[in-house]
Structure 1
């Protein structure tokens, strides 16, 4: 174990043993150098990792402090465990909310995307310029489905680093993760089929179900532990389920990540019933800690998991490049893509392949995870300062979303419109369910740099909530 890891473990143990309590100041960097006998660089590295993991917080000109203890919402006992939807009609409202986030005058706490300033724009533009000068007419043909060979090989190598054997031939490059998820669902279902989704779930799943005319079995997901597998087993025994769409890491909107044991149990259960898992893993790189959690795909022994990823949430949104590790369904997905969007942009594929060859990606990801953790801490503390005491914030590590529960008398769709009149956007709970169970919840994007404007907006949001409670 490296020295900085030893120091990390020591401080974690001290915090767990309540030697240092939440809110208390830790020894300064120089004090820790004296106490530990380690170099200043080693101590700085340890403190930075602890901060990125949410154990401690830095305060300008004040030092490092123990972060508040994580709080987790629980699934209300009154909530339905299973909810059926013969049809879904939510696309118009989702379009309205997402469109509002495009206005530069609005603080986009309702956005699904991270702050684009966090992305390495200059390096990506250099890669795009480099490939643009060497493009040939044949490149358009060479990058038709399944996509750029170099990019697919790089992705296969990244899978291999986690011990997951995926051939480049199984990978199909798509126009972002949404196309990967759309095509995956289309490949394994027919109109009228039943599919399992989480509740609450990523609204993209609801849009796909609406577009493909599918029927949904929505199973309640606990904010800390994710979907109840016992309820899933009962649903699989009762309905002719064809597919299950899930986010197993950094679930949107809850933020929870399933344990490896639960991911393995999920894959085994679905394989037993011959149900395909469509794994939406777009936030998988935004974990905390020193080791990336394994996706459910790592436990796939029967080629029943279609693993979908994207560069949009962790590298560049505008390129719109995603992929699916499709296994036996790769050929069918290629055919479906040819009949819909034809192919993913050749210059964007080539630019990403060029950038990934520089080996800058992992360095960028480390910086990104650290910055997101710091900003999430700042946003969380601001929300706790300004929102009424009745507001409950789900505090899952990683990612850049907070899931917030308000008292039942507060309708967050109405709150959304009132906040929007003040140029503040939130993502109301209505976006994440086909029912009305989450009308008093909202999702909050914490990826933005924190300053006076953000603090003032959260203060105003707190006032609007307080008014709704009176």
Structure 2
């Protein structure tokens, strides 16, 4: 029996069981290994079966848990296509579009689906205020002096303790604090790259990373990216000789919300280390998982110090506090020199306040509530989109993070949709913002970090109504 026939037959058998209700929503499917044993197929064929079922919106993957039959509200909407960017480095930055989207951010009465942060109503603002007051009392000189170059020791210890959840196994000495996540990425790129070097990234990718790379004179090579499992590793292997740096968001990337399987992370880390190409890992969304366990990081598989791990609390606790950090591995000395040159010290009071918030368990309680709210939001968004958006609309099904990626029919340009929506006091993020190439014109990112309400549901329906008019 031909391999292609086996793959199709197994896929259709499982799909038929789901559609007939033999396998019900929430049921766990056999592991990939068990599927191999049951059908006497290879690991690659088994993975292909599950990827095909995901693309049909019949099942969902949950990091470190397995595959489950999708809930009915998700079944109507297929996944977006795997991206297919040109593999020639490009620097066509959509500056005008990015400026247009961001210049309206202070507008009163605006519903902001375009910025990927949790709304203030989902954050423990009162508790954080108390921690700031306590920090001014506890710190020497009320926190007016500089802290040590590497950063607040208490905060670094707390980050190190939390890294055990995903196999980071840090010590406080492994970490350097920064003024937010983008500052961490900036230090890494300045330490590793020089003008004209090529950096490989996901496609689509967070606009701040694109702008940062362009600003530093780096050539950007966008990699084909699956909406569920992240970059296509086979393509990375083909272009490995072209790149000098790789920067990825392996856990719940923005804008796709994809999460690389552990075996993919391990393979990418090994591949880049063998070719002496540093990997910058942006893990700002890793704590926002919807499943039972936090996913591992690429840093979990780093044995050579080749992965520079970056994170922050900007997407989870307090965007305005600008608290971030790097575990730079063997590049620590370069990062410290850059920090001394560019910022000297992090903000002592804020870092102390965040350290105490982590130390006494408040952060974990907050994350539990935030994750639940975001997961509920994601399901409500998808249900509303299925009911109200044009026929043929596709969405991702993230298992964590703050982003929902929407793909319309090719005839619906989201830049035009943005112009219509902003007149209704609704801001979306057109897909063209997330690439340096002419692609994703019919896509958009929606932030799921707004508290769900009848008003938010109404605004989403308005977007769908406007899309039908184009």
Normalization by structure 1: what TM-score?
0.83
Residue 82 (structure 1) aligned to one of 59, 84, 87: 87
Query: How far has the Cα of 1:379 moved from its partner?
Result: 1.4
1:394–1:70: structure 2 CA closer, same or farther, 3 Å change rule? farther
Give distance in 2, aligned partners of 1:140 and 1:182: 26
What residue is the counterpart of 2:217 in the other structure?
213
Q: Cα distance, 1:279 vs. partner?
A: 0.4
Displacement after TM superposition at 1:429 (Å): 0.6
Q: CA deviation at 1:439?
A: 0.8
For 1:119-268, what aligned pairs fall within 5 Å after superposition?
Answer: 119-137=123-141, 139=143, 141=145, 143-237=147-241, 239=242, 241-268=243-270
Give structure 1 stretches of 5+ with no counterpart. 1-13, 24-48, 58-64
Aligned to 2:376: 374
Deviation at 1:206, TM superposition (A): 0.5
Name the CA distance, whole Å, in 1 between partners of 2:209 and 2:157: 28
Matched, 1:107 2:107: no
Whether the 8 Å contact between 2:429 and 2:446 is mirrored in structure 1 is: yes
Q: Distance in 2 between matches of 1:229 and 1:216?
A: 17
2:180–2:312 Cα contact (<8 Å) kept = yes
Contact 1:243 1:275 in 2 (8 A): yes
Moved over 6 A (4+): 14-17, 53-57
Shift of 1:226: 1.2
Per the TM alignment, residue 269 of structure 1 is displaced from its structure 2 partner at its CA by 0.7
Distance in 2, Cα, partners of 1:111 & 1:308: 20
Cα distance change of structure 1 residues 156 and 19 upon mapping to structure 2, 3 Å threshold: same
Q: In structure 1, what is the equivalent of residue 465 of structure 2?
A: 463
Q: String of CA shifts for 1:222-260, please: whole Å, max 9, x gaps.
A: 1122111111111113x1x22101000001100110000
Q: Does 1:288 pair with 2:290?
A: yes
1:436 corresponding residue in structure 2:
438
- Call closer, same or farther: CA 1:142–1:327 in 2, change over 3 Å: farther
Alignment partners' CA distance in 2, 1:392 and 1:434: 22
2:19 and 2:175 map into 1 onto residues whose CA distance is 43
2: CA distance, partners of 1:304 / 1:465: 45
Q: Given the alignment, which residue of 312, 315, 333 partners 1:313? A: 315
- Quote the Cα distance in structure 1 between the aligned partners of 2:409 and 2:451: 29
> Does the alignment pair 1:400 with 2:406?
no
Distance of aligned partners of 1:360 and 1:347 in 2 relative to their CA distance in 1, 3 Å threshold: same
Question: Using a 3 Å threshold, how does the CA distance of structure 1 residues 76 and 376 change in structure 2: closer, same or farther?
Answer: closer
Per-residue deviation, 1:319: 0.8
Does the 8 A contact of 1:393 with 1:402 survive in 2?
yes
Q: 1:364 aligns with which of 366, 370, 377?
A: 366
Selected match of 1:73 from 71, 79, 82: 79
Q: How does 1:40-79 map to 2 (within 5 A)?
A: 67-69=73-75, 72-75=78-81, 79=84
What is the rounded CA distance, in whole Å, between the counterparts of 1:66 and 1:429 in structure 2? 27
CA distance in 2, matches of 1:74, 1:116: 30
Residue from 21, 39, 46 that aligns with 1:18: 21
Once structures 1 and 2 are overlaid, which stretch shifts more, 337-346 or 169-178? Answer: 337-346
Kindly indicate whether the alpha-carbon contact (under 8 Å) linking 2:80 and 2:406 is maintained by their aligned counterparts in 1.
no
| 8 Å contact kept, 2:256–2:396 | yes
Which shifted more, 446-455 or 399-408?
446-455
* Equivalent residue number for residue 350 of structure 1: 352
Aligned to 1:28: none
Partner of 1:118: 122
Judging changes above 3 Å, is the alpha-carbon distance between structure 1 residues 92 and 348 closer, same or farther for their aligned structure 2 residues? farther
Matched residue of 2:103: which SS?
Answer: helix
User: In the TM superposition, what whole-angstrom CA distance separates every residue of 1:172-224 from its partner, at most 9, and x where no partner exists?
Assistant: 11111000011111111111111111111111110111110111111111112
TM-score of the superposed pair, with normalisation by structure 2? 0.83
Q: Take 2:194 and 2:221, find their aligned partners in 1: how far apart are those partners?
A: 16
What secondary structure does 1:111 align onto?
coil
Conserved 8 A contact 1:255-1:399: yes
Q: Structure 1's 211 and 462: CA in aligned 2 closer, same or farther, altered over 3 A?
A: same
Deviation at 1:342, TM superposition (A): 2.8
Q: Would the aligned equivalents of 1:142 and 1:148 in 2 still touch at CA under 8 Å?
A: no
Q: Distance in 2 between matches of 1:414 and 1:67?
A: 28
Residues 83/453 of structure 1: CA separation in 2 closer, same or farther (3 Å cut):
farther
Question: Residue 338 of structure 2 aligns to a residue in which SS?
Answer: helix
